[in-house]
A and B are shown apart, each in its own frame.
Chain A
């Protein structure tokens, strides 16, 4: 084990883990966060997505010891105590069914819109196509993202 310091959602945390430990387990088991979740452990589904340096990052395949920049999780995207516009759109469009994947959907969409506030349909399709949902809420995800894109127009 060795000491690792992580900045997560604005606060610094020091944990004692093997540096190769995937970030996901540190966030969940040491810091008690519940937004990022285990779906595949292979970086294929997106359930574990966090944002590092503006990039939607799969925390299940990211060694905690390699993380230098601040980590933002679903719990950390509200603005001044108010839900992020994407979170609000997710409620307005009633997007989730079981909801287990929605951390990945929202965080992936956030990184996409932060980079490009006015994506085309094709860019949304490309940006969201590797974040899976087995309840198949894609049609509502599409509506929620478009709602936010329209709001910032």
Chain B
């Protein structure tokens, strides 16, 4: 297949924005290309040529400003664009995320790839089809509506012998068609997108194109980049949070093989050597004198929730109040109250942070798996005080994103060190650094109260969440990434952070929802630093709210599904996406798929060592609705919980690739399960002590459920309403899982777990305490 660069050579048109990289096979990416002189101005999103190149062999390459963290969004983009362009799927490729060749659609984040960015992709592909049909109309001297198009071939309807391919019409040439739109999201040509009924590839499940190279070892990942004259760097982090660098004894490493340099500024320290194993050794041996901070940077993790409940909030917005909650509580037949605690949980990416930077020719090229490569480019340009158009980020595949690489430290470090050394530098964190110093999901301490009337109706609900989330790291900002913090380059005031309330649709007449943020004593240069982890506050808030709904159902002696459906059906008011109607459909679909046995929880106690139970939880995020059911086995001798079966009913509107979505749902639920059963960032009053996979356990194959059922509800239950557009599918999956597991454990044992994670020892202690207080077990 010819490339965009070849085309430019032959056409003689010099469009610098397209000239930087030769893209042969997209998954091999651009790193094999020699460093070009630059600069690297932004591709112009108002030019059709920035999005689509049709080649002479009647294939096409799509250029999109997103990244794929492994959910198959690249495959979905191709499906949508092929449908609009009318070209066969296997005649196309998709290039993503490199700042000099693709327009800035922001990379990944917020589950918006299909929901938001899919629209301009569809519109530009439709526009390309329109332009090609007009060209054929001129060629054959017939009006456009006398033409038919299929798989990149245009024919005259009345005389099918008259045919021309897209490649024959435009291959090797540019469209030179201007687009309009106030911003990239609004990019459009004159053509309209097809009605959903005319989409053919959308709704099918072509296999993900990125998978073969991931199983045969042929993919070049960001970790694999090797450049001439490249050196390796490792960081030396403060041994205690908030420590100040006093001195470095460079003689401790100067004689080591391959030693190149120690680089330090402020409290940032890095060692550089010729070979990777040499720098790992040198970083371990470098003698650095640190001064501990006068005050403890944070309480020990075992004291965290006590601290959070006593702390003065850094922000305390006015609560949302509906109805008259105080009056309703005063006159209720039954009031219950409970506290729920979720600790800090890390991203703990499977591969530590890494990047390679090349300072050749006065430019800076960064090879990175940063899911927000465009933001990284802007951030690095500001951090190094370089013009934006002299910095580019080449996006390549890497380990699991989910927010960690949206605030990617290694790219900044590699670029800084490359500039200092004047040589290409590859940086990679070690496992202990990644686990201890990556960004964390905020810890939550929630207090809930609920009031039931004499008939078991929920009449009042009081939700208070406190999140430890002060100084939440932003997206690749030059004054919030860790290297900037350590160097003392920081903004005047930390980011405010935020808590979250459950996005419930339940018709509860009287409600109070309050969200507060608390900070830890050390705000900057701390390993307990918060960032966005896959639905940033959703799992924490939903654990509290959906566990508590279950507690209320039990207090009302009601079946947990019936109790929820009663609350969902008590109102008929709905929004533009018919979220309430779809919530009812989703909860019912999950219960049907599971074969839900309607009865109050807990289940009557069994006599054996293994207790079984099932729990449901429901949530939505924006317009995507999810209900999840977990079936558990609890070992009453060891406290071990095995989730034997999972069911998810999921409605994200129009589904582009059902199989890729099912896979994403399976994995998203298991990520939630890992957070439910295993994950917790632990620390003493000086440092994070979760530093590897022993001290920071994660879900393993041993935990795999026997069966996972996914039901794609994808449908407004009302047949008269129009088709739904696609909504962001991914992050909603993460919300309900912890609560579903907690509710299932309660069903099995009668013991309510209100503190995450449900590790064996905690469950066993709760079972024993439950037995002592003559509860169910």
Contact = CB atoms under 8 A, between A and B. Distances in A.
Interface centre among A38, A98, A99 (most CB of B within 10 A): A98
B522 interface: no
A1 to B, nearest CB: 7
B441 to A, nearest CB: 14
Contacts of A125: 701-702, 704
Interface string B272-310: 000111001000000000000000000000000000000
A33 to B, nearest CB: 7
Interface in A49-102: 73-75, 78, 83, 87, 90-91, 94-102
Interface string A29-47: 1001111011111101101
A29 B276 contact: yes
B208 interface: yes
A130 interface: yes
Contacts of A124: 701
A135 to B, nearest CB: 5
Given A39-B350, A41-B431, A100-B398, A137 B693 contact: no
A129 B700 contact: yes
Contact of A132 (B210, B219, B673, B698): B698
Interface centre among B699, B700, B708 (most CB of A within 10 A): B700
A97 B670 CA distance: 13
Interface residues of A, number: 58
Given A94-B659, A100-B399, A138 B428 contact: no
B277 A21 contact: yes
A18 interface: yes
Contacts of A94: 207-208, 211, 659-660, 663
B399 A35 contact: no
B701 A134 contact: no
A98 B217 contact: no
Contact of A134 (B216, B226, B350, B397): B350
A99 B431 contact: no
Given A44-B694, A73-B217, A94-B207, A139 B257 contact: no
A37 B351 CA distance: 8
B710 to A, nearest CB: 10
A136 B671 contact: yes
Contact of B708 (A17, A34, A139): A139
Interface in A89-119: 90-91, 94-103, 106
B701 A141 contact: yes
Contacts of B351: 37-39, 47, 100
A66 B280 CA distance: 20
Chain B binding surface, main DSSP class: loop
Given A129-B701, A132-B350, A136-B670, A34 B693 contact: no
Nearest to A1: B257
A6 interface: no
Nearest to A96: B214
Interface string B213-238: 01111111101101000000000000
A16 to B, nearest CB: 11
B692 A44 contact: yes
Contacts of A41: 280, 430-431
| Size band of the interface chain B makes with A | 35 or more
B401 interface: yes
A97 B224 contact: no
B699 A138 contact: yes
Nearest to A30: B275
Interface string B687-716: 000001110001111111100100000000
A137 B667 contact: yes
Contact of B215 (A34, A98, A106): A106
Contact of A101 (B212, B350, B670, B708): B350
Contact of B397 (A99, A106, A131, A139): A99
A83 B221 contact: no
A39 B431 contact: yes
A37 B400 CA distance: 14
Contacts of B431: 39-42, 44
Nearest to B205: A94
Interface centre among A94, A106, A140 (most CB of B within 10 A): A94
Interface string B645-676: 00000000000000110011011101101100
Contacts of A97: 69-71, 400, 663-664, 667
Contacts of A140: 663, 666
Contacts of A39: 350-352, 399, 431
B542 interface: no
Contacts of B280: 41
Nearest to B666: A139
B666 to A, nearest CB: 5
Interface centre among A74, A99, A133 (most CB of B within 10 A): A99
A78 B705 CA distance: 30
B69 A25 contact: no
Contacts of A29: 226, 275-276
A25 B426 CA distance: 14
Nearest to B230: A29
Contacts of B671: 134-136
A57 B320 CA distance: 57
B187 interface: no
Given A40-B693, A41-B430, A139-B708, A131 B211 contact: no
A60 to B, nearest CB: 10
B153 interface: no
B350 A139 contact: no
B335 interface: no
A56 B63 CA distance: 40
A146 B71 CA distance: 23
Contact of A139 (B71, B220, B428, B704): B704
Interface centre among A22, A39, A87, A142 (most CB of B within 10 A): A39
Nearest to A108: B701
A34 B217 contact: yes
A136 B483 CA distance: 30
Contacts of B70: 96-99, 135
Nearest to B663: A94
A34 to B, nearest CB: 5
Nearest to B701: A128
B421 interface: no
A91 B701 contact: no
B666 A37 contact: no
A31 to B, nearest CB: 12
A100 B221 contact: yes
Nearest to B694: A44
B670 A99 contact: no
Interface centre among A75, A106, A133, A138 (most CB of B within 10 A): A138
A18 B273 CA distance: 14
Contacts of B399: 39, 98, 100-101, 134
Contacts of A42: 431, 692-693
Contacts of A21: 277
B215 A90 contact: yes
B724 interface: no
B670 A139 contact: yes
Contacts of A34: 217-221, 224
B350 A91 contact: no
B701 A142 contact: yes
B349 interface: yes
Nearest to B213: A99
Given A25-B276, A134-B350, 17 more contacts: A18-B277, A39-B431, A44-B431, A47-B351, A90-B211, A91-B211, A100-B398, A125-B702, A129-B700, A132-B693, A134-B671, A134-B698, A139-B666, A139-B667, A139-B670, A139-B705, A140-B666
Interface of B: 69-71, 207-208, 210-212, 214-221, 223-224, 226, 257, 275-277, 280, 348-352, 397-401, 428, 430-431, 659-660, 663-664, 666-668, 670-671, 673-674, 692-694, 698-705, 708
Query: What are the nearest 7 A-B pairs in CB distance?
Result: A99-B214, A97-B70, A136-B670, A35-B217, A98-B70, A100-B399, A74-B217
